Structure 1
Amino acid sequence: MTKDRNLPGPDSDFIATFGTGEPHTLFGHGFAGAIRDTRPFGTGITGTKHFLHLPGHGGRDSPGPGWNYGQIAEALARALASTSATRALGVSMSAGGLLRLLSTTHPAAQTLEKVALVLPASFTGFSAEVAEANRAHLEKLRGLVAAADVESITDLMLSREPAEVAELLPARAWTKTKAENLVNTDMSDGLGLALEIAVDASVSADPMGALARFPGEVLVLTHEDDPAHPVEVAEAIAAAIPESRLEVLPAGSILWRGRHEVRRIIGEFFG
């Protein structure tokens, strides 16, 4: 039987590698995501591409209840070191982990030359409105996961998407797979990450200064009308990193309605 290269095991530290040569780029998925979700972001990017399954995903054990961005950052740091990557792309949860690395001047981040933050979900905090919306959504989701109600979890997740996206059959199938993983694996340990802060002043003496001094290039890519990934978060990140490039696309663009534009932007950034 041919091994599924999208499901790497512990022998490769849960990293799937494609391509050859320089440069080396690491790709990290979002919460309840997978390598299959991040591979399209690598389309057209030259060199060696490394795709990571974070703990609690892709058959990799959860670190236990109560995930935080420090744990995500350390998993990314180990992958950066083992792959010798000089470039990285993080989606949502992984974007937060990369921000934690950059803001703490982690040794693993010192070799990074280019960083793409796609749909960043967390930065230094949330407005009261966003925090309350996240909390209410999380409570509903936890209840449905406890009841193992896959269909209702799918509906709840899709309720945060534009109607045109929610009605797409591929979008529903993809979301249902995420719902099944939440019910059938230990991934649900990480549900509370939606309320966690990526860049925490209590962890580093000068996190904002560290971000401002990062010498590499940074792309911040998001889209409008996504409650899980507020544009205000992406704007705050871009403002904190003077040389960064901010791209805000129409609603539903990143995964579904604007794939060609997303690939163009990422391809131009990584060169």
Structure 2
Amino acid sequence: MRGFRWPPPPDGGPRTWGPGPSGPRTGRPALPEPETELAATPHGVHLEQLVTGAGDPVTVFAHGLGSGIAATRPFGSGVTGRRLFFQFRGHGRSAAPPGPWSYHDLARDLRAVADQGLATRAFGASLGAGALCRLLADSPARFDRLVFYLPAVLDRPRVDAARRRLAALLDALGSGDVGQLAEVVQLELPPAVRNTPSGWAYLRQRLDQLMRDGLASGLADLSGSVPVRDAKELGEVAAPALVIGCVGDELHPVEVAEQLAATLPQATLHVYDRPGVLWAKRADLRERISAFLNE
């Protein structure tokens, strides 16, 4: 039987047991994290930010709950112009002002980065998609082009599975036990990727970042919040939008993507047939996103 084990084998593994190869295998190491900066905002919350690329147009990328810049960068690899990546409050080195926080607060973070960077296009993944929805409900004409990747919530609270996952992540971080944290983080990987060289590389980088920067406990309140009270608030968004969903992802129900695409007047919906899109369909996903944004 093969599966996940922590800590990783000292030779870089993964080391398997049972029938099959068991010698050292070193997998491609994770890329070193680039230097980021702390940017001041008009609402007084300093946000960690990374700027890549050059020229126009400018695209802002908003990450998912408990995630960050490193996990969001692959989505922008083929996107032309300048790319703005940042960490929401409570993530990474960004500030964690007194809570509770709402999607209005996240939308202010997103708007500040977009406005200061003169972004005309926006990408939002999961939590970032929710923050983008809140911003657009207040300012429907803010962006010229939009991408929503695996939206998790719209006008109904997150499913119980998402709340339990976040609670487990915060508990593991609070314990300071890297093994316990690894058990939670490895659930982000598709089963076929766990205990593989690429899976270990991802896990090591993710654990390093979480153990170094942590996550603010105030994020727990967001799991019961919604970006909009009624999806009809987004009915005035005229910008072309690409909504990407996935069948079988319990943290990002495909019904949310379908509802969002049906609400946005100029939306195109694409649904993948199985979870783990960034691992199983990475090339197709990046090409789909860049082709849409670069159009």
What RMSD in Å do the two structures reach over aligned CA positions?
A: 2.7
Q: Which residue of 2 aligns with 1:238?
A: 261
Q: Which residue of 2 aligns with 1:61?
A: 95
State the distance in 2 between where 1:65 and 1:221 align: 31
After superposition, what is the alpha-carbon deviation per residue over 1:219-245, rounded to whole angstroms, capped at 9, x for unaligned? Answer: 111323222222122122112223211
Structure 2 residue corresponding to 1:154, chosen from 168, 173, 182: 182
State the distance in 2 between where 1:134 and 1:212 align: 27
Q: 1:67 to 1:88 in 2, by over 3 A?
A: same
Q: Which residue of 2 aligns with 1:24?
A: 58
Q: Is the 8 Å Cα contact of residues 62 and 124 (structure 2) preserved in structure 1?
A: yes
Q: TM-score scaled by structure 1?
A: 0.82
- 3-state DSSP class of the match of 1:215? coil
State the distance in 2 between where 1:119 and 1:173 align: 23
Shift of 1:181: 4.6
Shift of 1:190: 4.2
| Structure number with larger C-alpha Rg | 2
Q: Which residue of 2 aligns with 1:204?
A: none
Q: 1:146 to 1:46 in 2, by over 3 A?
A: closer
Instruction: Give the AA of the match of 2:145.
Output: K
Q: 1:142 to 1:10 in 2, by over 3 A?
A: closer
State the distance in 2 between where 1:239 and 1:166 align: 35
* Aligned residues between the structures: 258
Q: Which residue of 2 aligns with 1:196?
A: 224
Q: Is the 8 Å Cα contact of residues 92 and 215 (structure 2) preserved in structure 1?
A: no
Instruction: Give the AA of the match of 1:115.
Output: L
For 1:68-147, what aligned pairs fall within 5 Å after superposition?
Answer: 68-105=102-139, 110-126=141-157, 131-147=159-175
* Larger fraction in helix: 1
Q: Which residue of 1 aligns with 2:37?
A: 8
Shift of 1:72: 1.0
Q: Do residues 256 (structure 1) and 256 (structure 2) align?
A: no
Q: Is the 8 Å Cα contact of residues 190 and 276 (structure 2) preserved in structure 1?
A: no
Q: TM-score scaled by structure 2?
A: 0.76
Identity over aligned residues, as a percent? Answer: 29
Shift of 1:34: 2.6
